[in-house]
Amino acid sequence: MKKCDGQALQKYFFKGILCIFTAVLLLFASGISSAKEPSIKKPNTLTDGFLADAKRLVPMLASDSASGGISGLIFNGLTKYDRNIKVTGDLAETWTISPDGLQIIFKLRKGIKWQDGIEFTADDVLFTYQKVTDPKTATPYSSNYGPVKKVEAADKYTVKVTYSEPYAPALESWGMGIIPKHLLQGKDINTDEFNRRPVGTGPYKFKEWVTGQKIVLEASDTYFEGKPKIEQYIAKITTEQSAMFLELQAGIIDWMNLTPTQFKIQSEKAEIKKYFQKYNHPAFSYTYIGYNLLDLRFADKKVRQALSYAIDKKAIINGVLLGYGTPSTGPFPSESWAYNSSVKPYEYNPEKAQALFKEAGWILGKGGFLEKDGKPFSFTILVNQGNDVRLKTAQIIQQNLKKVGVDIKITVLEWQTMLHEFIDKKKFEAIILGWGLSRDPDMYDIWHSSKTKEGEFNFISYKNPEIDKLLLEGRRTFDIEKRKKAYYRIHEILADAQPYTFLYVPDALPILHKRFKGVEKTAFGIALDWPIHWYVPQNRIEWYR
């Protein structure tokens, strides 16, 4: 007779409990993914999934995507883009431009009210200009108004802007949200409570902000284009994309950007396709590795080129993006008129990478890693929390670089911490980030050598006199062919210098609950002017209730 093994009994007991627990989870999951429509408690509310909380909602201080997206629903600029990628009026009804391009006269819409009932006037435009160009304002956007000589209020509804030189992105620059003089005059807008309780002229007005959880906006009764048909907008913060997808299926959120795996596989279930509509369009953006050029290792162009040759972009696009993207060759996506098609991506070439490392003085040591002056080539890449695509991209890069003798560590940080404690303060070696781009190719804020102060966008500290000159040339003419010549050359220089390893241009993969109607895909995707066009039919609202 065999001796009874107490450990074995314990093992099988807990195994049985685990099986029961797993079965319960499966039943719960099947309930979420059953053919029954998700429970919609507020049918005329649009709940949007965010991976990170906003920071500040004053438009000129909104430098991250969460802050910018929410701020854009509360405030208006003088101008905006229409569906044909043309600048049209927003708070400005019309404008005239002088033949020499040195003066714009904006005629403002009359009768527009701030959300507290006070009338919007030219004084608010002047006040906004003064604040965005005030050196005390911690804004990365001040250079958008650098060529402005003066701004005047000709009368209550007329703003005259005079430039010291022709400025091609002038109309687009006035798309930044205008702020209310009567609420902010004499205050420090960097720290004022207005950042968390804003008052604008936009389609939605602020209601509530629960830090790290949600920001709630309500449709504005006084919006000049008419009250939005969607009564409420909620930015729901969920820092993990997999958890956000479960919230989508459970009816907690209505709108999110899918990962490639979620788009291609998980969202193909019949019960999801029945109630949600997926969209796929090129994102006007690119993802990159940015190197801190104050670090002497990355100051060497050959090292940066070697790193780029050592990274298998196609493996990232196929393995992480599942084909929903294309290799990036530089600072413009192929949809931009400034894109230089003669510039080719760095092909995966480990042998060439090793040769360049050797030319830069990095020799393979006994441990299998590159060494110089007795120090191994090892650095850390920062990735923001909740972004599975960037984390997986970093992991492939880690394996790629290990093959050529570079030791990579990956650190995942909460978004606001990474942005303000590491990037703004230049306390990083390398980062994986992305730029969502303006339709005008002006990139002065990202690449000009003067834009390296804390909170500004040239946080890698890139400096190149020819780039500085070309950026100004691209701004100073309205001639599209002359601008193309400048930006094509910028593309060539940056592709050679590799201050970033330009990784890929991703596809945008949004998903939206089908109860929302009036959705149309444009050159900007589905989100352009959604507060004006989207609605939930009344019969669907009653059905949910």
Q: pLDDT tens across 122-133, in order?
A: 999 999 999 999
CA count, 13 A, side-chain hemisphere, 337: 13
What average pLDDT is seen over the chain?
A: 92
At residue 36, the pLDDT reads: 52
Distance separating alpha carbons of residues 203 and 91, to the nearest angstrom: 12
- The Cα-based distances of 62 to 265, 338, 387, 509, 516 in angstroms read 35, 26, 20, 24, 28
At residue 17, the pLDDT reads: 37
Mean pLDDT of 534-544: 90
At residue 35, the pLDDT reads: 44
Q: Tell me which residue of 149, 88, 77, 163 sits closest to 475, measured CA to CA.
A: 163
Tell whether the model's pLDDT for residue 3 goes beyond 60. Answer: no
- Going through 68-203 in order, the beta strands assigned E by DSSP cover 79-81, 87-89, 92-97, 103-108, 148-155, 158-163
At residue 102, the pLDDT reads: 96
Distance separating alpha carbons of residues 241 and 49, to the nearest angstrom: 9
Q: Tell me which residue of 126, 124, 100, 99 sits closest to 114, measured CA to CA.
A: 124
Mean pLDDT of 279-284: 90
At residue 23, the pLDDT reads: 37
Confidence category of residue 545, pLDDT binned at 50, 70, 90 = confident
* CB-CB contact of 41 with 253 (8 Å): no
Distance of CA 421 to the CA centre of its chain: 18
Reported as type and span, the H/E element at residue 403 is helix 388-403
Hey, what domains does the chain have and what are their CATH numbers?
45-52+202-280+509-544 (3.40.190.10), 76-193 (3.90.76.10), 285-507 (3.10.105.10)
Reported as type and span, the H/E element at residue 351 is helix 350-359
* DSSP code of residue 134: -
DSSP string, 171-188: HHHTTSPP--HHHHTTS-
Which residues partner with 18 through β-bridges?
none
Report the sign of the C-alpha dihedral through residues 450, 456, 461, 462, in that order: negative
* DSSP code of residue 329: -
pLDDT tens column, 84-108: 889 999 999 999 999 999 999 999 9
pLDDT tens column, 13-59: 333 433 333 333 333 443 443 445 677 889 999 999 999 999 999 99
Distance of CA 467 to the CA centre of its chain: 24
* CB-CB contact of 90 with 107 (8 Å): no
64: CB partners within 8 A, 6+ apart: 52, 54, 55, 415, 416, 419
At residue 85, the pLDDT reads: 87
**Is the pLDDT higher at 164 or at 544?**
164
Give the SS3 label for residue 508. Answer: strand
pLDDT tens column, 217-236: 999 999 999 999 999 999 99
How many other C-beta atoms can be found within 10 angstroms of the C-beta atom of residue 497?
Answer: 15
pLDDT tens column, 244-264: 999 999 999 999 999 999 999
Q: Which amino acid is it at 391?
A: L
Distance separating alpha carbons of residues 543 and 44, to the nearest angstrom: 12
**What does the H/E/C string look like for 430-481?**
EEEEEEECCCCCCCHHHHCCCCCCCCCCCCCCCCCHHHHHHHHHHHCCCCHH
Burial of 430 per CB tally in 10 Å (0-12, 13-18, 19+): buried
* CB-CB contact of 48 with 255 (8 Å): yes
Distance separating alpha carbons of residues 163 and 284, to the nearest angstrom: 29
pLDDT tens column, 329-386: 999 999 999 999 999 999 999 999 999 999 999 999 888 899 999 899 999 999 999 8
* CB-CB contact of 33 with 249 (8 Å): yes
pTM (predicted TM-score): 0.86
Helices (H), 154-309: 170-173, 181-184, 241-249, 260-264, 270-275, 296-299, 301-309
pLDDT tens column, 421-477: 999 999 999 999 999 988 999 999 999 999 999 999 999 999 999 999 999 999 999
* CB-CB contact of 330 with 500 (8 Å): no
At residue 338, the pLDDT reads: 95
Q: Are strands 214-219 and 232-237 parallel, antiparallel or unpaired?
A: antiparallel
Q: Are strands 45-50 and 232-237 parallel, antiparallel or unpaired?
A: parallel
- Tell me the backbone φ, ψ of residue 8, rounded to 5 degrees: -65, -45
Q: Tell me which residue of 428, 447, 422 sits closest to 437, measured CA to CA.
A: 447
Reported as type and span, the H/E element at residue 14 is helix 6-32
Locate 225 and state its tokens: 């284009």
Distance separating alpha carbons of residues 424 and 438, to the nearest angstrom: 21
Residue that is written with structure tokens 């070696």 in the block: 429
* CB-CB contact of 95 with 105 (8 Å): yes
